[in-house]
Structure 1
Amino acid sequence: MTAEFELTNGPLDGKGPGNSTSRVHDQEELGRVGKKEILKRRFGFLSILGFSCTILATWEGLLSTFTVPLENGGSAGTVYGFIVVWAGTISTLTTLAEMVSMAPTSGGQYHWVSMMSPKRCQKYLSYLTGWLIVIGWLSAFVSTAFLVATQIQGLIILNHPTFDATQWQAVLLYWATIAFAVFFNIVISTHLPKVESFVLILHIIGFFAIIIPLVCLGEKNSTHEVFTTFTNDGGFSSMGVSFLVGMMGSMFAFTGADAAVHMSEEIHNAARVVPQSIIASAFVNGALGFGMILSTLYTMTNFEEAIDSPTGYPFMQIFYMATGSKAGSTVMSAIVPIISAAGAVGSLASSSRMVWSFSRDRGLPGWRFFSQVNSQAIPRYSILVVTVFAILLGLIILGSEAVLNDVISLCVSALYSSYFISASLLLWKRCAGGIRPAGDHPIDVIVNTPGAPLAWGPFYVPGLLGIAVNAFSVAYLFIGVFFSFWPDVVDPTINTMNWAVVGTAGTCCISSIYYFVWGHRIYTGPIVEIEMN
């Protein structure tokens, strides 16, 4: 199918980065994949780079999940596992960058799956992928807010060891974090790009504010201890299995790689800027994360004391052991929940845009309601529905914190599954020669939608190198999805069992049942919204 189109988006304002030439180009890029421009483009390269970096929040995430690789891998496993995950993330983000350059829409993975899938399963695979992204981003938002809440409790315990932290207090702090994110996304949403640019600066300055006193004041372990000490506290049959299970901690720290993708329709020159920003964020965050890992491992002179910290977070105890000052370690530790709270703001933005986009394509119940935007082009109803579900999930803490941790693990299994499906299809299409150079089709011909020709965007890795990158991404993502369902110990109890497979499989089953009973009647994949000539 080929079709010409005309743009029908009203007057141009001719101001700043959104001048008439730029806006026409953005409209043409979006129109080529069959979409009208509805949201306003407020983000540039620096602001979306800050958005990507603070949602990935790799060095902050590593400190938050430090116990996972330490218990299954030890200090050496933590270092080498991070290197593997960093390489896999760069490869995965390069693959995602190629696809978003082809189709820079807020739908992201489900749009790409729809445009590359065989016709007989195009609608179903796209629908399933859309649901995986929705549940994955909801879990990412919940996990970020939950970590902020418990880290605040940890700071209180650090200064008042007799403080008895309760689950209802964690719930209130969790809800307060959600309210903070809602405020930025609804009340001052038009200023979100400026906020993200500022948080990028804080993300980098905060790293040095921690690492300098940590390295200068703390006692040091030997290089031999850091790079050769492996631990298998989970009791697995081999150190290799334990290493792969522990690697999930680093994978969690890199989760949210597609955050900027779902903001594509609010970014100037998205087909070029989004690939640049997400790849840059992988290198920036990876470098900061690796530096934080080495600094923390070198100054963690008492493994047992760090792991058994009453704060619940080993990094707080490590900071205290290094500085010998509660005030100093409190200031250093407080940087982590502050930046994580900013990450919650971005997580809500990305998850709400995904809900809005999937509703626009009639993939969710109530799609007419959730696909609406207000006068400022903000999808408030999508923001509110994500918020309501996040608030309700917080009630799980009152029943069992372990259950909520299982819900949190969905952000790895669900999002990585969506990456895996789309990356596998890109590899297949690429090897079959089904993607043409961008210049093969005029600007007024629809491409990269279901039934239309496939064409590369401005960014792609050519030749055999591109195939190798895609293949490595598929292999890495398969391992990530597989081990995201494993428990931390070989003989888990009900409380220590990893129930992520139930959440992921449950989402797939429920969405599949809904699709075959009702959804297939209204969901046809990404809708072509433009007017045809």
Structure 2
Amino acid sequence: MLDHVQSNNIEEVSDTINDSDRRLLELGYKPEFKREMSLLAVLGISFCAIGILTGSSAAFQAGLFSGGPLGLFWGWNICSLFMLLIALSQAEICSAFPTMGGLYFWVAKLKPDLPVLAYCTGWIYAIAMTLTGTSGNLTVALFIASLTEVGSGRTLTRVEITAIAWGINILSGVINSIGTKAIGWMSSFNIWWTLGGTFVLVVTLLVKAPVKNSADFVFTDLENFTGWSSKGFVVLLGFLQAVYSLEGSETAGQVAEEAIRAEFLAPMAVIGSIVGSWIIGLAYMLALLFSVQSVSSIQATAFAIPIAQLYFDAVGKHLTLMCLSVVCLAQFMAAVTAFTASSRLYYALARDNAFPAKKAFMALNRYQAPYVGVWLSVFVGCVISCAYIGSVIAFQAILSSAAVAVMLSYLQPIAIRVFWPSSLEVRGPFHLGKWSWIINAISFGFASFICLLFILPTAFPVTAQNMNYAVVSVGGITAGVIVNWFLWGRFHYRGPVATTSNEKPRISPLDR
């Protein structure tokens, strides 16, 4: 167990390792990865995982049809505030435990007497990240299909879209196999691409849209295509677009062992990615709302991605191709980082005997990438993508569970901090001080509310075609993980396993 780490290992190299490696040793883990990620790269990982342009674009119609501009604008700001509180809660824990595994390891350390909590959190979160990457790569394929539809007028078949998704999945695996430097470069590039892309999209919409909507429309208009009669409930359903778009800030914790000054940079990246996404997402959303030409046109669109209709109506064919290309590349980078997170989580779980085939999932290639976890994510992504050929509803049911599973994973460490306030025995350089419990309590309440909201029916009357199957898929995932615990996990998993007992820690090249 980690609590029995041999202190002589730490003292022996105390003068030759950096602070991040020293803290990793204190937690019982031998440094295995090169610390090559700067603040910009780590921030980029979280920023890329959130994918503010992509989430706001792909899910825009969900909010537009459930609450309209009123729900989108106010929901964005309200949800951003609460997601920032969740990020603060996560950052405090991340600063104390800057290790690969993120949410899983935090639960393991906060509540070591209940290993089942960490085990289930790790598995559910790993599945969620794999599904998130799969969803992202299919969305890239749908953007490419929309580009084809706008550019040539040809509608791609489901088989063709799935084939494109397979190619995107495989390309994501190749990039992740190249290792830390490639992911760091891509994540840093994504920050500038998102900033520049947002500027281009906002200016293009506001300059070229033939009709600009009034402030009254943008801030007070309520649209309801759901069938529900309760306006308050409809607006709340629109909140899901904001939450879906803002999930992913915790991804910085998955690469903590590859970051310089991880105990400081990782929590800063968790918080900074939400703050940046809040501001950028607000600017982008306002531009979209001021430029909407016809809500009913978007609702009736034949394009694979409904927001393509908004662009087509507002800026014309050629500029629509440019705008969709900007968002498509951002979506691809976001999907790549989901597989980065899942592969690192498989590594962390295998390291602690919470995942089978330990040696395989802990193996690193010449580029310091846990390639088995990467290609498992790719394989699962390709298999699930095939469901799109048979039924769009079935595919959406599988992938809608990813957002719920992520939020359920958020709940675990925050709930422990609320009900066992003394669980965080050692604080990192970033902590919330006297505000810690109240911030965690508010975060817990909001996350619980969102989990419930995610599984409620989004249309009325409820039919087999419009039912929200997230409750079924999430229930299936949760039940499967619990069964897995009783059949396998409880016999193999006891908590984090120290790796420093008999080996010298690696000396960081930065300290030579």
Give the corresponding residue for 1:451: none
- 1:453-483 Cα shifts (integer Å, max 9, x gaps): x2111111110x2222111111111111111
Letter in 1 for 2:166: W
Structure 1 pair 97/39, CA: closer, same or farther in 2 (3 Å)? same
Q: CA–CA distance in 2 between the matches of 1:491 and 1:42?
A: 53
- Superposed CA deviations along residues 343-375 of structure 1, whole A, max 9, x for unmatched, are 122111111101111111111232332222234
Q: Counterparts of 1:109 and 1:378 in 2: how far apart (Å)?
A: 20
Are residues 1:423 and 2:394 paired?
A: no
Q: Aligned partners of 1:188 and 1:357: how far apart in 2?
A: 16
Corresponding residue of 1:27: 21
User: CA 1:123/1:173 → structure 2, altered by over 3 Å: closer, same or farther?
Assistant: same
Following TM superposition, by how much is the alpha carbon of 1:503 offset from its aligned partner in structure 2, in angstroms? 2.2
For 1:336, the equivalent position in structure 2 comes to 327
* CA separation of 1:189 and 1:424: change in aligned 2, threshold 3 A: closer
Q: Quick check: 2:141–2:168 contact (8 Å CA) kept in 1?
A: yes
- Aligned twin of 1:458: 429
| Aligned counterparts of 1:500 and 1:364: Cα–Cα separation in 2 | 26
Name the CA distance, whole Å, in 2 between partners of 1:380 and 1:226. 47
Change (3 A) 1:27 1:321: same
Pairing 1:44-83 to 2, within 5 Å after superposition: 44-83=38-77
For 1:139, the equivalent position in structure 2 comes to 131
Would the aligned equivalents of 1:131 and 1:507 in 2 still touch at CA under 8 Å? no
User: Whole-Å Cα distance in 1 between the matches of residues 234 and 157 of structure 2?
Assistant: 32
Query: 1 CA distance for matches of 2:341 and 2:150?
Result: 33
Question: Equivalences for 1:104-503 in 2 at 5 Å?
Answer: 104-117=98-111, 119=113, 122-161=114-153, 163-187=154-178, 190-218=181-209, 219-323=211-315, 325-430=316-421, 433-435=422-424, 454-463=425-434, 465-503=435-473
The worse-fitting range, judged by mean Cα deviation, of 469-478 and 421-430 is 421-430
In structure 2, the partner of 1:530 is 500
Aligned residue type for 2:230: S
CA–CA distance in structure 2, aligned partners of residues 61 and 490 of structure 1: 25
Q: Is the 8 A contact 1:406 1:500 kept in 2?
A: yes
User: What's the counterpart of residue 80 of structure 2?
Assistant: 86
Pairing 1:517–2:487 present: yes
Q: Which runs of 5+ in 2 are unaligned?
A: 504-512
How far does residue 302 in structure 1 lie from its aligned partner after superposition?
1.1
The count of corresponding residues between Structure 1 and Structure 2 is 500
Percent sequence identity is 23
Cα shift at 1:390 = 0.8
Measure how far apart 1:496 and its partner are. 2.1
The alpha-carbon distance between structure 1 residues 11 and 184, as it changes in their structure 2 partners (threshold 3 A), is farther
What is the alpha-carbon distance in structure 1 between the residues aligned to residue 304 and residue 232 of structure 2? 27
Gap change, CA 1:124 and 1:228, over 3 Å in 2: same
Conserved in 2, the CA contact under 8 Å of 1:6 and 1:531? no
CA RMSD of aligned residues (A): 2.1
Is this contact kept in 2: 1:7–1:28, CA < 8 A? no
Query: 1:5·1:530 contact (CA, 8 Å) conserved in 2?
Result: no
- TM-score (norm: length of structure 1): 0.89
Q: Which structure 1 residue ranges, 4+ long, deviate > 6 Å from structure 2?
A: 8-12
Structure 2 Cα separation of the partners of residues 434 and 380 of structure 1: 34
Per mean C-alpha deviation after superposition, the further-off stretch among 105-114 and 189-198 is: 189-198
Q: For each residue in 1:473-501, what CA deviation from the matched residue of structure 2 results, as whole angstroms up to 9, or x when unmatched?
A: 11111111111112320223223222222
Return the letter of the residue paired with 1:154.
S
Change (3 A) 1:402 1:434: closer
- Quote the offset at 1:248 in angstroms: 1.2
Query: Does the Cα contact within 8 Å between 1:6 and 1:532 map onto a contact in 2?
Result: no
Distance change in 2, residues 1:52/1:3 (3 Å): closer
| 2:86 maps to amino acid | T
Residues 364 and 4 of structure 1, relative CA distance in 2, 3 Å threshold:
closer
Distance 1:182 1:518 in 2: 28
SS at match of 2:212: coil
Structure 1 Cα separation of the partners of residues 346 and 238 of structure 2: 32
* Pair 1:305–1:199, CA change in 2 (3 A): same
Secondary structure of the corresponding residue to residue 258 of structure 1: helix
Q: 1:168 offset after TM fit, Å?
A: 0.3
Cα gap change, 1:312 to 1:52, in 2 (>3 Å) = same
Q: Does 1:40 align with 2:34?
A: yes
Give 1:91 shift: 0.7
**Aligned residue number for residue 444 of structure 1:** none
> Post-superposition shift, 1:237?
4.4
Say which SS state the counterpart of residue 193 (structure 2) adopts: helix
> 8 Å contact 1:140–1:256 — kept in the other structure?
no
> 1: CA distance between counterparts of 2:96 and 2:130?
26
Partner of 2:7: 5
Residue type at the aligned position of 1:202:
W
Does structure 2 conserve the Cα–Cα contact (< 8 Å) formed by 1:114 and 1:125? yes
In structure 2, the CA distance between the partners of 1:167 and 1:254, relative to structure 1 (3 Å rule), is: same
The structure with more helix, counted as a fraction of residues: 2
Mapped to 1, the partners of 2:307 and 2:466 lie a distance apart of 22
DSSP-derived class of the 2:55 partner: helix
State whether residues 6 and 530 of structure 1, in contact with CA within 8 Å, keep that contact through their aligned partners in structure 2: no
Give the 3 Å change call, closer, same or farther, for CA 467–242 of structure 1 in structure 2: same
Q: Tell me which residue corresponds to 1:16.
A: none
For residue 427 of structure 1, what is the amino acid of its counterpart? Answer: V
Contact persistence 2:148–2:155 (CA under 8 A): no
Q: 1:140 to 1:461 in 2, by over 3 A?
A: same
CA distance in 2, matches of 1:368, 1:505: 31
Quote how far apart the aligned CAs of 1:205 are.
Answer: 0.4
Tell me, which stretches of 5 or more residues in structure 1 are unaligned? 13-19, 436-453
